[in-house]
Amino acid sequence: MTVSDKTLLAHPVAQQRHTSLVRLQRFGGYVAMALAIFLVGLPVYWTVIAAFKESAEIYRIPPTWVPLEPTLENFSRAWQAAPFGRYYINSFLTTLGGTLAKVVLAVLSAYALAFLRFPRKDLVFLILLAGLMIPPEITIVPNYLTVGRLGWINTYAGIIVPSAAVAYGTFLLRQAFLALPFEVIEAARVDGASHMRILLSIVVPMAQPAIVTMALLALVARWNDFLWPLLVTHTSDMRTLPIGIFWLRNSEGVINWGVVMAGSLFLIMPVLLVFLWLQRYIVDGIAAGAVKG
């Protein structure tokens, strides 16, 4: 508490005004939080309840916010309408492979930018920041031409490799590494530890929340990726879940939204479970990346 706050609180009227202001600010925060939850949660809630509704009930006016006659038929119809088993395998392989590549490259690049000395390091970091400002859509044509020349069209390598490096992850981990106690790292150097030993034994364990956060963000982005896998694949056995749901919608003719929403839950549930499992790392990881610039 500052000196001015203590002075204000010495007078009952000022203290009452200060309390009212704090309550008003807290109320405003609760209102903003409730609005954010409503805007984000309403589409998710509608997706969930629509997956358990008959088609006629989905189109009903006024809408029903609780299924009148819940049914599980939409899930079986969605699973039979498209090879979701194969979609799951493709999504798991591309997501795990892409996330692992992103984490490894981000950790190594962030360590180099944080602790190594090499010429033009500031310029390299500036180029990295410039990469954050380039929309991914701009790189689609060059990446597609490169993948085509390498013969990677309709392959796992073609899906994973072009987005294996991520500028945001490197930036986030660099900031987190700079916030680590430098004395510990310097002591390891004095003891003769190599850079790889310092990275694996000291930096990675101490920066675990930031690394897990970065991995979770990369995992969600890769799991939900639609445009690039759509362009680089052309057979059903290589499609991922987002593309499978797109084709599920188009294959229905007159769209059965119950089936489409059931298919959407197939996409949402795995990454939601992973998110809930790792959520305790998120706040710590983002805070670790914001401590030091």
Return the CATH architecture of domain 80-288.
Answer: Orthogonal Bundle (1.10)
pLDDT in tens, 182-210: 888 888 888 888 889 999 989 998 888 88
For the entire predicted model, the pTM comes to 0.79
Higher pLDDT, 283 or 133: 133
pLDDT at 9 over 70: no
What local confidence, expressed as pLDDT, does residue 289 receive?
Answer: 46
> Domain residue spans in the chain?
3-51, 80-288
Residue 13 has a pLDDT of 67
Q: Is the pLDDT of residue 152 over 90?
A: yes
Is residue 291's pLDDT more than 60? Answer: no
Give the count of beta carbons closer than 10 Å to the beta carbon of residue 68.
Answer: 9
pLDDT at 62: 86
Are 224 and 99 contacting, i.e. CB atoms less than 8 angstroms apart?
no
pLDDT at 98 (0 to 100): 92
Mean pLDDT of 25-41: 89
- For the stretch 67-123, pLDDT in tens is 888 888 888 888 888 788 899 999 999 999 999 999 999 999 999 998 888 888 889
Interacting residues of 220 by C-beta distance below 8 A, sequence separation 6+: 271, 275
Q: Is the pLDDT of residue 128 over 50?
A: yes
